[in-house]
Amino acid sequence: MNQRMVALMAALVAAAGLFAVAPVSSAAAESGTAEGSAVSTPPPIVSDANYRIAEEDILRMDVWGEPQLSNIQIPVTPGGMISVPYLGDVKAAGLTQAELAKEIAKRLADAQILYEAKVQISVYQLHQPQVRVLGAVQRPGSFPFKTGDTILDAIAQGGSYADDAMLESATLTRKGSEESLPINLRKLFDGDLTQNYVLQDGDKIYIPHEDYNNKIYVLGQVNRPGQYSLKENTTVLAAISLASGQTVDASVKNTIILRGDLSNPTRVKCNLSALFDKGDMSQNIVLQPGDIVVVPSAKKMPWNTIAQIVNTAANLAWLRRTGW
């Protein structure tokens, strides 16, 4: 009889072992398994406990034992805020993950929603720093960049500059600043790297298109009279070359530059024959915005004829219509 009782008790003990509930291991707790929830937190993207949450990061929030407050992805706004269920806006940017978790737990308690909440915050996706490249580039837009990238890298992202880019007048504007830093991209492309600034998140690079204040006009006895872009240190001879050179009837020794107010312009004489024949470089004058180079005919051309040409060509509305 005693042997039967011992065997029965042994069977009961074995059955009880089948239904025993195993305790949650410390490894499972550290992995972020929410108590009372089947949701587990994936390994964090950011392992550095001192990482400061940045604008436009995407966070994940889990509260142990509270499925309705777990497995929630929350984006950080450009203003640095997140929207937490039942709490509304909470400042996140600049805090560590632990500091933000502590702040949310405190607010849940203060609002009498949940006391001693075990909140876990992890970075689900890091914000990629962005730079905007606008204006006279092939592909204007916003582009991600990596740490250490520079102005030249950003312009390359934009497909390089357009043909009508005013490289000397580019600007860099930092995020949160109303002032722009001038950048002479022409010097930068020529090897002067002093303005090849390292990019910061939110930078805006603007390269303006050429306008009518940055043009010169080459008229008279040239093969392609018209309006041309003024580049740095463009001279009279370079301007005539842009117009495909002078015609056979040109009198280059009587070339003139009309400068200033067209109603009463200053006439600057350029004897290009002296430049060609004697190497007199003083005749190869550097042009200014709005200058009009007139190469007259070898036949005597009265001033009123030159004035008529200039007045017609200098009419900006006419230039826009004709596409010069």
Q: What pLDDT, in 10s, does the model give residues 223-280?
A: 999 888 887 788 999 999 999 999 998 999 999 999 887 778 899 999 988 888 888 9
Q: Where are the beta strands (DSSP E) in 225-313?
A: 226-229, 255-259, 266-270, 292-295
- Please check whether residues 135 and 118 belong to one and the same domain: no
Question: 65-85 as b/e, with b when 16 or more CB fall inside 10 Å?
Answer: ebeebbbeebbbeeebbbebe
Last residue of a domain, which of 80, 96, 125?
125
- Please check whether residues 222 and 298 belong to one and the same domain: yes
Instruction: Flag whether 34 is in a domain.
Output: yes
Instruction: Flag whether 308 is in a domain.
Output: yes
Instruction: Flag whether 2 is in a domain.
Output: no
- Please check whether residues 244 and 164 belong to one and the same domain: no
User: If pLDDT is split at 50, 70 and 90, which confidence band does 33 have?
Assistant: very low
pLDDT digits (tens, 9 = 90+) for 270-319: 998 888 888 899 999 999 888 999 999 887 655 555 555 555 544 543 44
pLDDT digits (tens, 9 = 90+) for 151-164: 999 999 999 998 88
CA distances from 156 to 113, 149, 153 (A): 52, 11, 5
Backbone phi, then psi, for 310, in 5-degree steps?
A: -65, -45
- Please check whether residues 241 and 201 belong to one and the same domain: no
Cα–Cα distance, 21 to 181 (Å, whole number): 67
Look at the chain and report how many structural domains it folds into: 3
- Please check whether residues 171 and 193 belong to one and the same domain: yes
CATH of the domain at 116: 3.30.1950.10
Contact 181, 197 (CB under 8 A): yes
Instruction: Quickly tell me which residue has 């497995």 as its tokens.
Output: 71
- Please check whether residues 121 and 135 belong to one and the same domain: no
Last residue of a domain, which of 92, 125, 158?
125
Cα–Cα distance, 126 to 59 (Å, whole number): 9
- Please check whether residues 191 and 248 belong to one and the same domain: no
pLDDT digits (tens, 9 = 90+) for 95-140: 999 999 999 999 999 999 999 999 999 998 888 888 999 999 999 9
- Please check whether residues 290 and 223 belong to one and the same domain: yes
Instruction: Quickly tell me which residue has 């940045």 as its tokens.
Output: 54
- Please check whether residues 241 and 186 belong to one and the same domain: no
Cα–Cα distance, 88 to 72 (Å, whole number): 14
Please, which residues have CB within 8 angstroms of residue 4's CB and are 6 or more apart in sequence? none
Instruction: Indicate the pairing of strand 203-207 with strand 130-135.
Output: parallel
pLDDT above 70 (res 322): no
Per-residue model confidence (pLDDT) at position 300: 62
What would the DSSP string read from start to end of 88-144?
EEEE-TTS-HHHHHHHHHHHHHHTTS-TT--EEEEEEEPPPPEEEEEESBSS-EEEE
Higher pLDDT, 73 or 43: 73
- Please check whether residues 216 and 146 belong to one and the same domain: no
Q: Which domain holds residue 268?
A: 212-315
Instruction: Flag whether 250 is in a domain.
Output: yes
CATH of the domain at 160: 3.10.560.10
Contact 96, 50 (CB under 8 A): yes
Q: How much is the mean pLDDT over the chain?
A: 81
Instruction: Flag whether 10 is in a domain.
Output: no
Q: Measure the N-to-C terminal CA separation of the chain; round to a whole number of Å.
A: 118
Per-residue model confidence (pLDDT) at position 15: 45
Handedness of CA 106, 111, 116, 122 (dihedral sign): negative
Strand partners, 270: 255
SS3 label, residue 232: coil
Please, which residues have CB within 8 angstroms of residue 122's CB and are 6 or more apart in sequence? 32, 41, 42, 44, 45, 46, 59, 60, 62, 97
- Residues constituting the chain: 324
Last residue of a domain, which of 125, 146, 169?
125
Instruction: Indicate the pairing of strand 255-259 with strand 266-270.
Output: antiparallel
Instruction: Flag whether 220 is in a domain.
Output: yes
Instruction: Flag whether 181 is in a domain.
Output: yes
- Please check whether residues 32 and 88 belong to one and the same domain: yes
Structural tokens at position 204: 């805006």
Please, which residues have CB within 8 angstroms of residue 258's CB and are 6 or more apart in sequence? 265, 266, 267, 268, 291, 292, 294, 310
Instruction: Flag whether 19 is in a domain.
Output: no
Torsion, CA 142, CA 143, CA 148, CA 149, rounded to 10: -90
Least trusted range by pLDDT, from 30-34, 87-91, 153-157, 208-212 = 30-34
- Please check whether residues 274 and 221 belong to one and the same domain: yes
Contact 135, 129 (CB under 8 A): no
